[in-house]
Structure formats: structure tokens, C-alpha cells
């Protein structure tokens, strides 16, 4: 839950890392996917200066470490951290590794780099082969870990990130039509389209994505209240409606935006618990939250309107 008053509007920080393809065609594929993902993040409102894009030839282990060091220096606790990994991975039965130009980076190294970033909400989308072996190593409270495969034994190149990137720009990804695409919605969108991809190709699926966001290190295919997964992913937005710049940045405006985020999180938590609640109780609590959210939104819009008139 966010504090009642935020020091400043949250500013997401994103790392997009494409590993070594091993052959020109794979390098080209990974580079194009990374560029598309970075472009989607910019379109989604992430400031270009807060997106680090490392292509296959630039993703040496020391460069990856420096990218995380920069994130640790710049990101504030309220700033969400997004990490996207594209390429080949491996698992020797003990530890996951991401294939980079030069020495590979191990799951333990990634864990250290991630832990040094102060962001309280972190999202790691690992779309490499064998990525399922990284979930347990990176699991932590406040961190959503998504892997394209169910284990380290699924070693084929994945298509998961192709569809996860689509969720940044496809209105269909906003399943509840609230003007934002959450990490959970993007996960579901991508998994559905991965299944369709293999079905239409008449192929047996060689990847089965999973998500862990409650810190227990056990990813699931279908996050829900029944298995305790998906709440954090539902509360972290990848895409938000409306311009993120030129908004009034006063203490009152920041307080309203923090309250709006708090209410949106409470609504997502309520929707997450819907199946476990009596219908009348759910509707009563939802109505109360929506009414308060509408009042906060109205106050924000008035503040922004007044600011526009003064310009």
C-alpha cells in the first residue's frame, strides 16, 4: 500500500536485456524484439531516459551489472522496476544462467543486482529458454517473477516475450477496461496468445509460462486467490491511460495521486478476493471504493484543468 502522501509521482525504471543469440538470425530476432519492447515502454509513458536497452552485442556481464548499478542509484523506493530478459538461458541442474556475450550471468548474480535496487515493487519477465529455473532464485516479497517456461528443462527458444510486448500497445490486453494494463493482465494476454500460436502451428507447446509474486518461490500457470498468486501483479500497471507529463506537481496533487493509487490497489485486491466473498458484500465494498475513487479523480481533473488555464 502506498503512503498517504508521496514525495513525487512514481517514475518506472526499466531494463531491457537481450542476450547472445549464437547465430546472426537469432541475434537479429532478439534485437528486434528488444527494440520493440523498449518502444512499447516509451509509448506506455516510461521516460526514455529511464529505459536501459542492451542489445545482444552490448549485453556483456559487466554492462548488465552497470545497468543495475545505475538503477540502484536512480530508482526511489516508490518507483517500480521492470526487468525484461530476452534470449537463451541454460540450467545445469543447480543454477540458471543467461547466455551473454562473454561470461554468462548466473541466477545468483541477478539476485544480488536486483536486491540492490531500492524499488519496493519489482517485476522481472524472464523470457529466455530454461527461464523456469530462475523463479525460485529470484522470488521475494514485493517482486513479481514471470518465466516463459515451467522449468529449466524447457530449453527451446520461446515466443512469450513477443506477446508480452504486444500487451503494451494492444487495447485487448486491458481486460477489465479500466484504462490500464496490469502485469497480471499482460501475463494472461501473453499466455493465451502463446497457446494460440502453438495451436495454429499444429505444434506441441514447448513453453509453459508461470508467475510468482507472493515470495514463496513457486510459480503457477493460473494465478488466483486459491493459490495465493497474482495480487502484486494485478496492482502494478505496465500501461496507464492518459498523459503522464505536464501534470501539476504540487503537494496537494501528489497527495491526490497517491490516494488514487491506494484506492486502485484496494480495488484490485478486492477483485482478487471476489470468488471468496458473498456477492452482496463484494458489491457493497466495490461501490464504496469506486465512489471514493471517482471523487479523487474529479478533484485531480479539476486541479489539472485549473493548471492548464493558468498556462
Of the two residues 204 and 5, the one the predictor is more confident about is 204
Evaluate if residue 290 carries a pLDDT over 90.
no
> What integer pLDDT is reported at residue 243 of this predicted model?
44
Supply the DSSP symbol for 263.
H
Please tell me the distance from the alpha carbon of residue 121 to that of residue 92, in angstroms, as a whole number.
30
Of the two residues 303 and 226, the one the predictor is more confident about is 226
Which H or E run includes 38?
A: helix 24-43
- Look up the CATH number of domain 13-240: 3.40.50.1460
> What integer pLDDT is reported at residue 9 of this predicted model?
63
State pTM to two decimals: 0.83
pLDDT in tens, 24-79: 888 999 999 999 999 999 988 899 999 999 999 989 999 999 999 999 999 999 99
Instruction: Please give the grid coordinates belonging to residue 266.
Output: 484496494
pLDDT in tens, 202-212: 999 999 999 99
> What integer pLDDT is reported at residue 2 of this predicted model?
32
Q: Comparing C-alpha atoms, which of 215, 214, 209, 250 is closest to residue 234?
A: 214
Residue at grid coordinates 506441441 = 204
Phi, psi of 247 (to 5 degrees): -95, 150
> Are 4 and 265 spatial neighbours (Cβ–Cβ below 8 Å)?
no
pLDDT in tens, 234-259: 999 998 754 444 456 678 877 877 78
Q: Provide the percentage of residues in the chain whose pLDDT is more than 70.
A: 92
Helix (H, G, I), strand (E, B) or coil at 81: strand
Average pLDDT, the chain: 89
pLDDT in tens, 70-128: 999 999 999 999 999 999 999 999 999 999 999 999 999 999 999 999 999 999 999 99
The set of residues, in sequence order, having a beta carbon less than 8 Å from that of 171 and lying 6+ positions away, is none
Evaluate if residue 160 carries a pLDDT over 90.
yes
Amino acid at each position: 500500500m502506498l503512503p498517504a502522501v508521496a514525495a513525487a509521482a512514481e517514475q518506472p525504471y526499466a531494463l531491457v536485456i537481450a542476450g547472445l543469440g549464437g547465430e546472426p538470425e537469432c541475434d537479429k530476432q532478439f534485437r528486434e524484439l528488444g527494440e520493440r519492447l523498449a518502444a512499447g515502454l516509451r509509448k506506455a509513458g516510461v521516460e526514455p531516459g529511464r529505459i536501459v536497452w542492451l542489445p545482444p552485442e552490448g549485453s556483456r556481464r559487466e554492462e548488465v551489472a552497470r545497468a543495475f548499478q545505475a538503477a540502484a542509484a536512480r530508482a526511489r523506493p516508490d518507483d517500480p522496476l521492470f526487468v525484461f530478459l530476452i534470449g537463451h538461458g541454460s540450467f545445469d541442474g543447480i543454477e540458471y544462467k543467461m547466455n551473454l556475450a562473454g561470461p554468462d550471468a548466473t541466477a545468483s548474480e541477478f539476485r544480488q543486482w536486483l536486491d540492490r535496487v531500492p524499488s519496493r515493487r519489482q517485476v522481472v519477465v524472464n523470457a529466455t529458454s530454461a527461464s523456469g529455473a530462475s523463479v525460485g532464485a529470484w522470488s521475494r516479497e514485493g517482486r513479481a517473477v514471470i518465466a516463459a517456461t515451467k522449468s529449466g528443462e524447457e530449453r527451446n527458444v520461446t515466443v512469450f516475450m513477443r506477446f508480452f510486448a504486444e500487451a503494451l500497445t494492444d487495447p485487448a490486453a486491458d481486460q477489465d477496461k479500466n484504462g490500464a494494463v496490469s502485469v497480471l493482465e499482460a501475463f494472461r494476454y501473453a499466455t493465451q496468445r502463446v497457446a494460440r500460436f502453438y495451436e495454429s502451428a499444429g505444434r506441441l507447446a514447448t513453453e509453459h509460462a508461470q508467475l510468482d509474486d507472493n515470495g514463496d518461490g513457486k510459480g503457477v500457470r493460473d494465478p488466483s486467490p486459491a493459490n495465493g498468486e497474482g495480487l502484486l501483479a494485478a496492482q502494478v500497471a505496465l500501461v496507464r491511460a492518459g498523459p503522464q507529463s505536464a501534470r501539476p506537481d504540487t503537494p496537494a496533487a501528489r497527495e491526490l495521486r497517491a490516494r488514487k493509487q491506494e484506492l486502485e490497489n484496494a480495488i484490485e485486491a478486492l477483485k482478487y478476493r471476489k470468488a471468496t466473498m458473498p456477492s452482496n458484500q463484494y458489491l457493497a465494498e466495490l461501490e464504496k471504493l469506486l465512489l471514493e475513487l471517482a471523487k479523487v479523480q474529479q478533484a485531480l481533473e479539476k486541479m489539472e484543468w485549473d493548471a492548464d488555464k493558468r498556462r
